[in-house]
Amino acid sequence: MNFAFDSTNITHGIQLAVAPVFLLTAVAGMIGAVAGRLARIIDRARTVEERARVSKDEDFVQRAYTELGQLRLRGRIANGSIGLLTLCAVLIGLTIILLFLGETMGLEAVRLAVTGFLAGVVSFVLALLCFMVETVLATRLLNFHMLKK
């Protein structure tokens, strides 16, 4: 095995490995955004559940159960988005490792790096679609009662 530890190879390896890091920055931002939405979904569900538990108004309780079902669906979608974003981060991290090791140690890891990168991008796109679906569901829950005049 040919270990090429000269400064040119190491510099080039770092340059190759840094490019996917920008995607990791986007993933971290998205995880923060989706985690914030998930926290609000959980808080809302707790509030609705507590109000329904103490309410004697059957109509309100029925509406609360309906909203809780919608909140559960939104929570599951947000959780799926976070899972896909985490998978994306792992795949991009492995891509960075493979690119760096391939360049500095002469390993034939380019095919694996390309596959890992593409799988990471697909995972990111799927997470974005989940995010979009969750936000569409959230806006469908809005009731502008005052505008119904």
Cβ proximity of 95 and 87 under 8 Å:
no
What pLDDT is stored for residue 140 in this prediction?
84
Q: Mean pLDDT across the stretch 7-13?
A: 67
Among the listed ranges 17-21, 43-47, 63-67, 129-133, which one has the minimum average pLDDT value? Answer: 17-21
pLDDT single digits (tens) 120-141: 999 999 999 999 999 999 988 7
The total of other beta-carbon atoms located within 10 Å of residue 85's CB is 27
Name, in order, each residue with C-beta under 8 angstroms of 27's C-beta and a sequence gap of 6 or more.
Answer: 85, 88, 89, 92, 124
Examine the pLDDT at 117 and tell me if it is beyond 70.
yes
Q: Mean pLDDT across the stretch 14-32?
A: 84
Q: pTM, whole model, 2 decimals?
A: 0.81
Q: Copy the structure tokens of residue 62.
A: 């029925």
Task: Give the closest residue to 113 by CA, choosing from 19, 4, 28.
Answer: 19
More confident site: 110 or 30: 30
Name, in order, each residue with C-beta under 8 angstroms of 99's C-beta and a sequence gap of 6 or more.
Answer: 13, 16, 17, 20, 109, 110, 113
Cβ proximity of 133 and 84 under 8 Å:
no
Examine the pLDDT at 52 and tell me if it is beyond 60.
yes
Percentage above 90 pLDDT, the chain = 62
56-63 LR contacts (CB < 8 Å, sep 24+) = none
Cβ proximity of 113 and 95 under 8 Å:
yes
